[in-house]
Amino acid sequence: MKLELGTIQIKQFTFAEKTSLAGGHLQLCQRELEEFIRTIHPQIVEVETVIVHPGEEVRIMPVKDVIEPRTKLDDGCCFPGINRGEEAIVGSGKTLALKGISVLTTGKVVGFQEGIIDMSGPGAPYTPYSTLRNLVLRIEVDEQCNQYQHEEILRRVGLMTARWLADQVKTTPADEVTTYETLPLAKQHAAYPDLPAVGYVYMLQSQGLLHDTWFYGVDVKKIVPTLMYPTEAMDGAIVSGNCVSACDKNTTWSHQNNPVIAELYRRHGKDLNFIGVILTNENVTLSDKVRSSNMVARLADQMGISGAIISEEGFGNPDADLMMNCYKLEAQGIHTVLLTDEYAGRGGESQSLADAHPSANAVVTAGNANQVITLPPMKRVIGHSVYANTIAGGFEGSLHNDGSITVEIQAITGATNELGIHTLSAHSG
């Protein structure tokens, strides 16, 4: 499967009377944008749209999702499965991505694990999204919506707005086009027979109510492990709908820009042969964990790989899935490297992971999510700061009278992202 990914770097992002893109300056008609958003669902009762830039004294919370605007330049569409009749396979053809910006959703979100993004101050370096020019959508729904409908509405608004935005400027020539290609298994092995065959085990959050990730519009709780071409992620085959702790939640943006996939492609044909991706879920019951990890091991054997990177999403319960995937691959002679984060207590005195195994001897950590930080007051809050006392990482008294917030960094969106998007790590002192 071959994908030509064209990118345009957005250097300036403003509202204007007419939508246009020239010289890296994206001008967006706010009236047309808000009219479009209101057509997405009849239970939307309030829409606020704001463009925020790096360095501004702005706090966004609670954050539902972050999405990079992308669109197909030929047949098909990004984010397949979001609408009926859009079930075509993605990951091939031509795609346009608008880099340096995002569509970011907030509002009175249903979960308690959506997080905080500060665009400046000491909290900004903890989130990769503070470096983007963010189109923030504050969406409120009517009181008739239950929590599941509420989540679905915000998810649809974010995805459809991101696609709509890229569609408005899709005739603009790309600054750069990069081609990514993965061949069927036999041909992929034959391409570089002398290099180590490496695969990627991509764990997706699927632990229960509102802990959802979607693959081609299907709740990942309902799938068994499957093979995926890496380029499918770039076209939005995987989208976020979950409410895991904000620090290690994989947003849709992070799936679109998965750095594990990017790095494996960069090294493909040089010092490794990137064979493909095993997509798997994170389960609640022991029997489901055993079943999924058994199937991951079988698929890895079928792929003929000698090494694998395994990335986790979330913490606690999924640590058992991570370890099962690890030791079952290692038992087959497949060397593994694990990507995770830690919940080691505020002073680092607690056990970092809820499960462990001797075969997990190559682990990369994205940092300790229990680290405490005080975020100063901001000139503007988009969303609802009252959730500071109830989001994961917060506590009663987190929100101070002056607007400052004291929380664990697990409340900051992307702070310990387990795909390795961010720069935070941990070491023994």
Active site positions, annotated:
243
**In sequence order, which ranges of 304-396 are alpha helices (DSSP H)?**
317-331
280, 204 contact by CB (below 8 A): yes
Strand partners, 63: 106, 115
> Position of tokens 């990069």?
178
Residue 67: both structure tokens together: 């999405």
Residue 313: both structure tokens together: 């999403």
User: Which amino acid type is present at position 196?
Assistant: P
User: Which amino acid type is present at position 259?
Assistant: P
Residue 346: both structure tokens together: 């505020």
Residues 62-100: b if buried by 16+ CB within 10 A, e if exposed: bbbbbbbbbbbeeebbbbbbbeeeeeeebbbbbbbbbbb
What letter does residue 173 receive in the DSSP assignment? P
Q: State the DSSP H helix or E strand holding residue 240, giving kind and residue range, or none if neither.
A: strand 238-242
**Angle at CA 73, nearest 5°, toward 70 and 76?**
85
Look at residues 226, 225, 210 and name the one whose alpha carbon lies nearest to residue 89.
226
